[in-house]
Amino acid sequence: MKKLFVLVAALAVMTTGALAADDTPVQVAHMPNMAQEFIGQHFGDVQVSYATMDDGLRKSYDVVLVNGTKIEFDGNGNWTEVDCKHGVVPEAIVPAQIRKYVADNHPGQRIEQIERSARGWEVGLGNGLDLKFNKSFRLMDLDD
């Protein structure tokens, strides 16, 4: 049983390393149009530091701006996460229901991170609080 566990663990480590090696540098101009437009519309005044493409199980793109903001896109160019480590997520990409909830329940807090998925939304506030909403924008969890 120990040998089987060691074998499975070794395979997991090798697979993880192989998947991490799939990141390749890419120019923003070679990313899907939706991603290019998103960057231009919401972060056009900030220079791109670098961009990578992960062509692993699911193609995705990561873009890092010179101000430290990180943007993740799926293979079609739809944004999946925006993390403004030293700033505020552009208001236009935060659904109105989430903006209202934050303003009503956490006044003065800024939204520094937002992530969207098929299950819902996750928002990170400046005070370290993470809010999780379902697809209907109902608060499901708070985590600090």
The model's pTM: 0.84
Mean pLDDT of 65-72: 98
Give the model confidence (pLDDT) of 81-139 as tens digits: 999 988 999 999 999 999 999 999 999 999 999 999 999 999 999 999 999 999 999 99
Name the band, by pLDDT with cuts 50, 70 and 90, for residue 70: very high
Q: Which domains does the chain have, with CATH numbers?
A: 23-80 (3.40.1420.30), 88-144 (3.40.1420.30)
Percentage of residues in the chain with pLDDT exceeding 70? 85
Answer yes or no: is pLDDT of 42 > 80: yes
Which residue stretches of the chain are H helix? 2-20, 33-43, 96-105
Residues 5, 131: Cα–Cα separation, whole Å: 37
Burial of 109 (0-12, 13-18, 19+ CB in 10 A): middle
Average pLDDT, the chain: 89
Is residue 73 within 8 Å of 46, Cβ to Cβ? no
- Say what the pLDDT of residue 21 is: 54
